[in-house]
Amino acid sequence: MADKDNKTVNYEKLKETVAVGVRMQDNVINATPYFLEENKKQALGERRVGLGVMGLHDLLIYCETEYGSPEGNKLVDKVFETIATTAYRTSIELAKEKGSFPFLTGQTLEETRGLRQAFIETGYMKKMPEDIRQSILENGIRNSHLLTVAPTGSTGTMVGVSTGLEPYFSFSYFRSGRLGKFIEVKADIVQEYLDRHPETDPHNLPKWFITAMDLAPEAHADVQCVIQRWIDSSISKTVNAPKGYTVEQVEKVYERLYRGGAKGGTVYVDGSRDSQVLTLKAEENNSEQLSMFDENEKQPVVLVDTITDLRATDVTIGSEVGNICPICRKGHVEELGGCNTCTNCGAQLKCGL
């Protein structure tokens, strides 16, 4: 959806894609085999779909706009307003062609109008443009819900774009797979930018190449709230917080999400679990896993914090009280402030809540 030459969003292409996506997803409801009659009744009754996005950070980079900045949030707001209004107008047109979702249709015209009136008086619909609300009152709408933002962690990585609405975790990192943490992921967009701008120092990229851990947790939360304004279902978004983030600080982030209108939220404190999906270093790879690759094809993987012959000692590394910290391998785990916390590096390893 990016016009890379003009560094803008191609809104007409976005509208066309959303309209096709809504019609396609509505058709999927009828094409789906339902194994339980209750599921079929519910799915066909509300005709709920969930059009989402991925590659949002790529779009912002192409527009040379910083994720999480006031300018970035203004652009994100316009993008999702376009998606939402187009999706709803398309669903209204579908209702004219094929009828509203059955749960919005009463036994009489008066009952149907009452259901439509209640629909446009919901919190989400009150914020919609007045022409959309009036069109639903007159013509109904094909789908009870139209939008969501799924995480797309695996699919986004597979096709080489930023996942869901998230910023890049890093432009070079290791992703945890079933065979260990040795899947190195490098963002294609960096090389693409360097090819287009050969004068750029690859170690000093422009400010719009910001990463998830560079952003303040509050900035993560604000982006989610901007998008939630235009999403009628839930959003998958992680607020990344640095190591040592306190329970009180996490509490304030959740309050910020609540006040901003988010339907839910996830705050992840870096290093707070024994293992995590994304990391900036290649850990936990053993020789058996790495031997799957031919020597000539093996990617350079650095094993860090390796302690030899641990199995020959009585040392226990883990997240329980009394264990050696799995992050720094130096401190001991103690219960501090409701969390099992390392006394050396401050990593919060397990929450007692």
Token match 């779909």: residue?
49
Q: E strands of 29-186, at which residues?
A: 172-177, 180-186
User: Shortest CA distance to 206 belongs to which of 73, 69, 61, 70?
Assistant: 61
User: How far apart are the C-alpha atoms of 201 and 121, rounded to whole Å?
Assistant: 53
Is the pTM higher than 0.85?
no
CA gap 147, 18 in Å, rounded? 10
Domain boundaries, the chain: 2-139
CA angle 175, 179, 184 (to 5 degrees): 30
Tens digit of each residue's pLDDT (9 = 90 or more) over 287-336:
443 333 344 443 433 333 333 344 445 678 888 888 988 878 888 889 88
CA distances from 80 to 55, 152, 166, 190, 230 (A): 13, 17, 14, 25, 6
Give the Cα separation of 316 and 325 in Å (integer).
9
pLDDT score recorded for residue 327: 77
User: Sorting pLDDT into bands at 50, 70 and 90, what band is 154?
Assistant: confident
Instruction: Provide the percentage of residues in the chain whose pLDDT is more than 90.
Output: 62
Report d(CA 104, CA 113) in Å as an integer. 9
Counting beta carbons within 10 angstroms of the beta carbon of residue 6, is it exposed (0 to 12), middle (13 to 18) or buried (19 or more)?
Answer: exposed
Rounded Cα gap, residues 119 and 240, in angstroms: 35
Distance CA 125, CA 137 (A): 12
**Tens digit of pLDDT for each residue in 177-199?**
665 555 666 678 988 998 899 99
